Amino acid sequence: MPEGSEVFDLACRVLRDEGSSETAKLSAHILRVLAIHHGVSWRSEIRGDLARLLNFSGEPSSFGDEEIGRAVKRLEDLGLVEAEYRKRGEWPGPEVSVDQLIHLKGVYEARRALESDPLYLRYLSYRQGLIWRALKRGR
């Protein structure tokens, strides 16, 4: 596993290279989504999370599973994420499926790199506001 400062540097690199290709851009967005979700997400859920992030930012969300796979592979090759296939239960039924669990290494260092990312900060604030308002309504 990369050391903390290495994760920070790699995350900064992903953000810096975001404009170099569509795969690089999607990799940066996946990094943001994983950081927001405390470093872990199922592959089947990343597409919806990416669509919400891109909708918030005003960017079109024209990507498919292949593009997501290439972006996750890029992050894996850099050493920022681990992706492994696992069994996953579906609530409330007894069904079990196999899905890819994606885990961000060094989530705190990656978040530190994202502290200067305007999209991440705006989206994080927006999500926290939604949660706060929902909790306030529930009282």
β-pair type (96-104, 81-89): antiparallel
Structure tokens at 37: 């979700």
Query: Phi and psi for 86 in degrees, rounded to 5?
Result: -140, 160
- Predicted TM-score (pTM) of this structure: 0.91
Q: Which amino acid is at 67?
A: E
CATH code 1.10.10.10 for 4-137: yes
* Average pLDDT along the chain, 139 residues, taken 10 residues at a time: 82 97 97 97 94 93 91 97 92 88 96 96 94 85
Structure tokens at 87: 């069994």
Using left for φ > 0, alpha for ψ between -120 and 50, and beta otherwise, residue 79 falls in left
Give the Cα separation of 18 and 21 in Å (integer). 7
